[in-house]
Structure 1
Amino acid sequence: MTGLETRGLVIDVPGRSAGRPLDLGITPGQRWGVLGPNGAGKTTLLHTLAGLRPPRAGEIHLDGRPLARLRRRELARRLGVVFQERHDDFPATVRETALIGRHPFLAPWQQEGPEDLARAEAALARLELSHLAARELATLSGGERQRVSLATVLTQSPRFWLADEPTNHLDLHHQVAVMDLLAEQASQGRGLVMCLHDLNLAARWCSHVLLLYPDGEACWGPAEAMLAPAALERLYDQPLTCVEVDGAPVFVPRR
């Protein structure tokens, strides 16, 4: 299979004795949203798909090859990760941080070249960060730092994006801009897996949805099938009202 595939995958969530094995096929061009309440294992799943933590059972394959057998540099060229929160231990400017996305493509001790810099500058412009390129990362707001994280992966240009709350800390304008950017990446043949809390972002931008329940239950499929009010009410233990706006469902919590 060409894409990111899980075979009998059980993620290792502390305190959970079992979970439904996940047999997912994520192909280039698809936009997957992972939904579930706090503690359901969304971030754990994303880190497992990225090879950052081992599964409890099962395997992950990338373009038909076991993820565990890929070298780290090869994996970094194919998979890009946007973390929910980033911790920067060393001082760096916005431009220098974006250029980290080119490191998997450079030889040891090789300096970035004009093409690498051009990619970083284009990514910063796409995320509306060009005016902050020379600023120290530590001086930015949470939303600005999140956009730098996205610009870094955009500079990397991986075949698959794994994004944990990509709209975290962002205002409404930048939420829409980021989701448009991710949809644009999918339209160019890249695969996306995004952990989201906002049902309405998932309804408007995701082609497929994975629902994760706190007890390890899971179900997945096309977004229009998964985003049923009854299923979402059970997922979040929250009554919802669903209306249609511009051809897409909009979910509003009820008291």
Structure 2
Amino acid sequence: MTGPAAKGPEGKGLAATGLEARGLVIDVPGRPDGRALDLAIEPGQRWGVLGPNGAGKTTLLHTLAGLRPPRAGEVSLDGTPLARRRRRELARHLGVVFQERHDDFPATVRETALIGRHPFLSPWRQEGPEDYARAEAALERLELSHLAERELATLSGGERQRVSLATVLTQAPRFWLADEPTNHLDLHHQVAIMTLLAEQAERGRGVIMCLHDLNLAARWCSHLLLLYPDGEACWGPAEAMLAPDALERLYDQTLTCVEVDGALVFVPRKSVCAR
């Protein structure tokens, strides 16, 4: 199965603006070159990256963010390769929610959210009223205002995840790159975060997120990228990618597909797929 892929939903070529991957082969140690990716994350789109553990989802996200080099090809922003842009400039456009965090220094929730404004501050300049206002609004949106003075080390995993999202919301980037944004979250907050990301797309921002929850992807994503363990990949509009046979092969797991309130829901069966 190949990506109808390399073209947009209307069958057009890649966009001249946006976050683009051209001939991109991500560098997954110990794996031969997979299919080269030619895709564009455009403003207003919500991309979901699906695949089993070890397929390279996090590696792809870090490569798209310019945090690690590709094995081949390049990533560009508005037509300019990331390698030719300054890190500070990229930080004004690309916001990353990491799957793993290392809080090496003590900080409060509010102080952490304010980190999102650092790319916009000149050297030695402290945050101003507008920066604080953005941080406070982000904390309120993520239901964290009551924890603003708490130290990060005292938070639960779910609370810490929401702080990470509040930091990127304070940053207000053009493109969100989120690695498991619903990790550690209960059902209420999973829906709240997916709603937030959908709102960002509606406001003209591009979103790409790695997800393990197939049903969240089916409900909330406009486009999907399927990464197989052998390096194969296919991508395109979500309705074209949600084929049960392709998803069963992706996860090596038999699935039952039903429709609930107009949306597809995938339920794993007790049996697994034959390899």
Q: Name the SS of the counterpart of 2:123 in structure 1.
A: coil
Aligned with 2:140 (options 121, 125, 136): 125
Aligned with 1:38 (options 53, 59, 62): 53
Per-residue deviation, residues 128-164 of structure 1 (Å, max 9, x unmatched)? 0000000000000000000000000000000000000
Letter in 1 for 2:168: V
Matches within 5 A, 1:81-230: 81-230=96-245
1:254 paired residue number = 269
1:74 paired residue number = 89
RMSD (CA atoms): 0.4
Letter in 1 for 2:96: V
1:52 has 2:67 as partner: yes
Letter in 2 for 1:186: A
Where structure 2 has 5 or more consecutive residues not aligned to the other structure, the ranges are 1-15, 271-275
2:7 paired residue number = none
2:36 paired residue number = 21
Taking the aligned partners of 2:112 and 2:144, their CA distance within structure 1 comes to 12
Taking the aligned partners of 1:68 and 1:139, their CA distance within structure 2 comes to 38
Q: Name the SS of the counterpart of 2:253 in structure 1.
A: coil
Task: Give the deviation of 1:195 after TM superposition.
Answer: 0.1
Q: Which runs of 4+ in 1 moved over 2 A?
A: none
Task: Give the deviation of 1:85 after TM superposition.
Answer: 1.6
Taking the aligned partners of 2:147 and 2:266, their CA distance within structure 1 comes to 36
Per-residue deviation, residues 170-221 of structure 1 (Å, max 9, x unmatched)? 0000000000000000000000000000010000000000000000000000
2:12 paired residue number = none
Task: Give the deviation of 1:115 after TM superposition.
Answer: 0.2
Taking the aligned partners of 2:166 and 2:59, their CA distance within structure 1 comes to 23
2:273 paired residue number = none
Task: Give the deviation of 1:247 after TM superposition.
Answer: 1.0
Task: Give the deviation of 1:64 after TM superposition.
Answer: 1.0
Taking the aligned partners of 2:20 and 2:100, their CA distance within structure 1 comes to 26
Taking the aligned partners of 1:186 and 1:41, their CA distance within structure 2 comes to 24
Q: Name the SS of the counterpart of 1:173 in structure 2.
A: helix
Task: Give the deviation of 1:109 after TM superposition.
Answer: 1.3
Taking the aligned partners of 2:219 and 2:140, their CA distance within structure 1 comes to 25
Taking the aligned partners of 2:46 and 2:219, their CA distance within structure 1 comes to 11
Where structure 1 has 5 or more consecutive residues not aligned to the other structure, the ranges are none
Task: Give the deviation of 1:43 after TM superposition.
Answer: 0.1
Letter in 2 for 1:52: L
Task: Give the deviation of 1:90 after TM superposition.
Answer: 0.2
Taking the aligned partners of 2:129 and 2:40, their CA distance within structure 1 comes to 37
Letter in 1 for 2:78: D
